[in-house]
Amino acid sequence: MALKVTAIFLHYLAPVMAGWGPEWKNRMQRIARRHAECGKTIIGWKASAGARREIEAQAEQLDRYLERCRTMDKSETPRMMGALVVAIGGLVCDAICTAPVVTHKTANGGNPKSEWAWLNRLMDRLADDMTKMFPGCDMLGTEIYMAVSK
């Protein structure tokens, strides 16, 4: 799920943020690179039919928030973008905490694989910066996270 929603973020929001300047473009490129590396760690991993349905339902729910972001008043769009970053960051953290088989060096835990640790760190920093720029997006992001992760 974390990789799916990060892919959605990279497709829809990262290009907008990359337009905010060279530093932002560089950050989006680093996130995209780590996302691709994390994707390699799940090659061959088989999700159950129920898990696939759950992942699709969560992605559809996140997509509804993205649609709201695209159609809302332009002055509110950055706050919603920040909220989505916070929510996605929470889902990446969740993956590390709940899926050690694919996110950790050993199947029963230990340290997270470096690509997952880096993706988590990059999303966390981005969420912190977005919260500083757009106060209140962290609270909205937490609400989105709670709705999507049910």
Q: Which of 118, 66, 131 is nearest to 58 (CA)?
A: 66
The answer to whether residue 50 is domain-embedded is no
pLDDT tens for residues 89-117? 999 998 888 887 778 777 666 788 889 99
The answer to whether residue 29 is domain-embedded is yes
- Between residues 34 and 150, the one the model is more confident about: 34
Contact 137, 79 (CB under 8 A): yes
pTM, two decimal places: 0.87
The answer to whether residue 48 is domain-embedded is no
The answer to whether residue 35 is domain-embedded is yes
The answer to whether residue 52 is domain-embedded is no
CA 39 → CA 84, 115, 119, distances in Å? Answer: 20, 9, 11
- Rounded Cα distance between 114 and 131, Å, is 25
- Rounded Cα distance between 114 and 87, Å, is 21
pLDDT tens for residues 18-27? 999 999 999 9
Full residue range of the structural domain in which residue 136 is found? 2-43+59-148
Number of domains in the chain: 1
